[in-house]
Amino acid sequence: MTGAGARPFVIAVDGPSAAGKGTLARRLAAHYGFAFLETGLLYRAVGWRLLAGGQDPADPKAAVAAATQITMADLDDAALRREDVAQAASKVAAIPEVRRQLLGLQRDFAARPTLPDGRPAPGIVLDGRDIGTVVCPDADVKIFVTASVEERARRRYKELLERGENAIYSRVLQDMKDRDNRDSGRVVSPMVPAADALVIDSTALDADAAFAAAVELVDERRGRVD
Ligand code: CDP
């Protein structure tokens, strides 16, 4: 068992937008009593800071200046969930110096994870795009959750309607394709499954089946380090 003082057990959950990685990551963290870090919020916080200040998210100088200001305390803002903030996030995320700034925050938290009440956690689940490849290449478990872009756009569209936002499916699909292209096509830390990741395609697999597959892998790895 990973005891107090031992290296935290790290689970990396990567994948494109609306593939179900957030749901899976959150559920895994609750199941094992681990901390949870949604790393996309860091990029969203940088994007939001720029939008709120009337600046261009694609401007590297402004984006790097904003990234140096970000702390974990910025991640609770409800505005971060907005679609325009998601688009801005994927623009700042393509800037190498922004990624470098945010890397330190992510690695520090992963090395000493804490639960929301401040207690140290025996492990951590991080979700993002490059956790298994760049942020925590030595993660104990790596999972890459994916689904077809049409299915992901359908899910996001439904989510937006449920939140009472105005949404048009064709627009949501196009935005999703644009973001996929930016995330997969960027030179630094492009979104790719780590070579040793378990790939879960959630197009035909429901959330419970995805969770069961992940738990089986985590239990097997935890057994091995016990
Ligand atoms: O919630 P959703 O999957 O739509 O997005 P997110 O995880 O909040 O990420 C927003 C944007 O941040 C992504 O489109 C990526 O461009 C960027 N991101 C990244 O580059 N690396 C990460 N580890 C996490 C997010």
| List of E strands, 15-155 | 35-38, 123-128, 141-146
From first to last of its 226 residues, the chain has per-residue pLDDT tens of 444 568 999 999 999 999 999 999 999 999 999 999 999 999 999 999 999 999 999 999 999 999 999 999 999 999 999 889 999 999 999 999 999 999 999 999 999 999 999 999 999 999 999 999 999 999 999 999 999 999 999 999 999 899 888 899 999 999 999 989 988 988 888 889 999 999 999 998 899 999 999 999 999 998 865 4
Alpha helices by DSSP H, listed for 72-168, are 83-92, 96-111, 149-162
Decide if 156 contacts 17 (C-beta within 8 A). yes
Residue type, 30: A
Residue having the nearest C-alpha atom to atom 4 of ligand 1: 17
Which pTM does this prediction carry? 0.92
Pocket of ligand 1 (CB under 6 A): 17-18, 22, 39-40, 43-44, 86, 89-90, 93, 128-131, 179, 183
Q: Ligand 1 centroid to 180 CA: how many Å?
A: 10
Residue having the nearest C-alpha atom to atom 14 of ligand 1: 90
Q: What atom in ligand 1 is closest to the CA of residue 41?
A: 8
3-state DSSP assignment of residue 199: strand
Dihedral sign for Cα atoms in the order 182, 187, 26, 77: negative
φ and ψ at residue 147, rounded to 5 degrees: -170, 165
pLDDT at 122: 96
